Amino acid sequence: MKAYIWSLLVLLLMGSINVWAQGDDDAVIFKAMEDEMNRGMKELKQADSKPICCIGVNAVYGRTFMVRGILGGIIQSDIIPVSYGSVNVLAGDYNFTSQIKYPNELERHQLFSLPVVPDYEQIRRGIWGAMDATYKNAQKQIYRKQAYFDNIIIPEEEKKIIPFPKIEPVSRIVEPRDEYSIDQAYWENYIKELSGIFKNYKDVIFSSIYVMGKDLEIYQMNTEGIKVKQPVRFVYLFCNASIRDAEGVSSNYQLTESAICPQDMPSLDEMKKKVTDMAETLVKMKNAPKFEGDYTGPVLYLDDACQTFLLGGDLFGVSSRYVAARKTEDPGLYSQYKPTLENKIGQSVTHTALTVKNYSSMYDYKGFKLMGAYEVDAEGIIPEKEMTLIEKGVLKQPLSSRTRSVYTEKSTGSMRWTGNGSSIVCPGTLHVSADKGYSQEELKKMLIKEAKKQKLNCAYIVRGNSGAYFEEIYRVNLKTGEETLVFAAQTPRESWGWMGSAMAFSEEEGIVNIPAFELPVSLIYPNGVLFKKAKISEIKEKEKPMILTRPLDR
């Protein structure tokens, strides 16, 4: 009975959120944020304290849902309201602030709880408590930072940098373009049906599947004149299954699908086919010839296998090397600094055939809805709609935030909100294109020709199914072109820069939405890449067999 009452309460609250989000209560949130920020600017003072440079307040309202299943059973089903905020206080002035972090890491400020239904006094109370703690911490940081700077020699080129330049005021309200419809009963049946498919495949030893989504609206305001509301929304399906042979060698298959709204996800029938194909592929792989030894020679990556180089973190994310970054100004964190490629501006960083562009507000590409579209970044900066990052292999400009580096003159508006309230320098939609492309059939012929030229007795093709983080590796007969699936083979997780060693690219493109770090990003890329020299190695790691048989095998 208690569970029923709680579920009813959550549904009523969710209904309140929807009514509020469409009504006039935005004014309540912004008014509470503005009034408490202004009070902080006037009254936050201590003896011997540094002045406040600026104060920023963010509020996040919305909902999240999750349905998780195993073997036809639902083990989790939630719709949860989301309401929290964050405060950032910078002490000092624009030439020297208490900021100590570099911009290509996940940035999270002091969090506080908010009422599910917006209330002026409660919002102010939450901001008040977080602002006090943040102010005191900012004072400690700026004195620590000053002491650090007093004991180091600052390079001349860094002395010229204004670390935290002023920005223009922006007022922008961005409303969601589509309804975000959550039918919990539909998704419970959806996950139940899909997870139940694995009951028919005894060779699959582990399997699970879940769908989760976030429908958020982020309010941001600061004392510099930024007043923005914008949505962050996505839905993500993850299916995982694995097999293990008699010797203990395992292979794990991960299938994903993502979209902006739940109603844009593949239908149940479409996903049944994909999950069934996934299970069938795993069974085939377990019974396939085993790859032994190592191979170095031409390798052709096709379809979603080409995402390997884009999703490895080298091109975007916390490990991206294509962003502008400053060394952290906290001596305790200095060793964590990760140098980027920004000092290579004007130099070749990848294959001369490749150009990489970033689109900020492109909402669809050839009829495909892109979740990477945004209009204002997390610092209140409006990005250029299109910017060229790499042109014919040469780095033109890195993505950057408001924080200056030696090599950047202004922000590209790329500090983006994630679904968990943090922010990070990241693209919107990355478009990787080649100035000359070939059909997949032509690429295969080029693969065979190159393998013969290198006097090898076979070549390899790495394929990826739609939405799958899983590589199917096929041995190619150089005489007939026949492809044979092999088991226990793996390719190295190379970085994006490895693309510079490619021979040729596909003329066809792949498109994918990826909520990496709960950050909606879209990728457009060549869905075929041929390498002259690539490695494939044997999987030698073995796991001990299970002592008991699976319950399904009894």
Does any domain span residue 282?
no
Does any domain span residue 352?
yes
Secondary structure in 3-state letters for 265-282: CCCHHHHHHHHHHHHHHH
Both 224 and 300 in one domain: the answer is no
Q: What per-residue confidence (pLDDT) applies to 342? A: 79
pLDDT band at 417 (very low <50, low <70, confident <90, very high): confident
Q: What per-residue confidence (pLDDT) applies to 155? A: 75
C-alpha 114 chain-centroid distance: 26
Does any domain span residue 307?
yes
Q: What per-residue confidence (pLDDT) applies to 22? A: 43
Among 189, 204, 231, identify where a domain stops. 231
Find out whether 282 and 470 touch, Cβ atoms under 8 Å.
no
Question: Rounded CA gap, 69 and 62, in Å?
Answer: 24
| Residue 71 DSSP class | T
Both 43 and 155 in one domain: the answer is yes
Both 164 and 297 in one domain: the answer is no
Both 347 and 225 in one domain: the answer is no
pTM of the model: 0.88
Does any domain span residue 103?
yes
Query: Which carries the bigger pLDDT value, residue 358 or residue 162?
Result: 358
When divided into structural domains, the chain yields a total of: 2
Whether the pLDDT of residue 428 is over 60: the answer is yes
Residues 6 or more apart whose Cβ sits within 8 Å of residue 374? 230, 360, 361, 383, 416, 428
Give residue 4's identity as a one-letter amino acid code: Y
Report, as an integer, the average pLDDT of 48-63: 94
Question: Rounded CA gap, 33 and 128, in Å?
Answer: 10
Both 344 and 425 in one domain: the answer is yes
Does any domain span residue 341?
yes
Both 223 and 360 in one domain: the answer is no
pLDDT tens for residues 452-476? 999 999 999 999 765 556 789 999 9
Of the given ranges (62-66, 134-138, 325-329), which has the lowest mean pLDDT? Answer: 325-329
Does any domain span residue 5?
no
- The mean of the pLDDT values for the chain is 86
Question: Rounded CA gap, 205 and 234, in Å?
Answer: 30
Both 227 and 329 in one domain: the answer is no
Question: Rounded CA gap, 366 and 192, in Å?
Answer: 33
The residues facing 229 across adjacent strands are 173, 219
Report, as an integer, the average pLDDT of 469-495: 88
Q: What per-residue confidence (pLDDT) applies to 402? A: 87
Domain that holds residue 469: 288-538
Share of the chain above pLDDT 70, in %: 86
Q: In which region does residue 317 sit, left (phi positive, over 0), alpha (psi from -120 to 50) or beta (all else)?
A: left
Both 227 and 304 in one domain: the answer is no
Does any domain span residue 7?
no
Relative to beta strand 368-369, strand 354-359 is unpaired
Report in angstroms the alpha-carbon separations of 498 from 294, 309, 418. Answer: 19, 8, 28
Both 171 and 303 in one domain: the answer is no
pLDDT tens for residues 1-38? 444 444 444 444 444 444 334 457 899 999 999 999 99
Question: Rounded CA gap, 470 and 465, in Å?
Answer: 8
Give residue 458's identity as a one-letter amino acid code: C
Question: Rounded CA gap, 88 and 32, in Å?
Answer: 16
Both 412 and 509 in one domain: the answer is yes
Both 223 and 335 in one domain: the answer is no
Both 226 and 327 in one domain: the answer is no
Does any domain span residue 164?
yes
Question: Rounded CA gap, 493 and 533, in Å?
Answer: 15
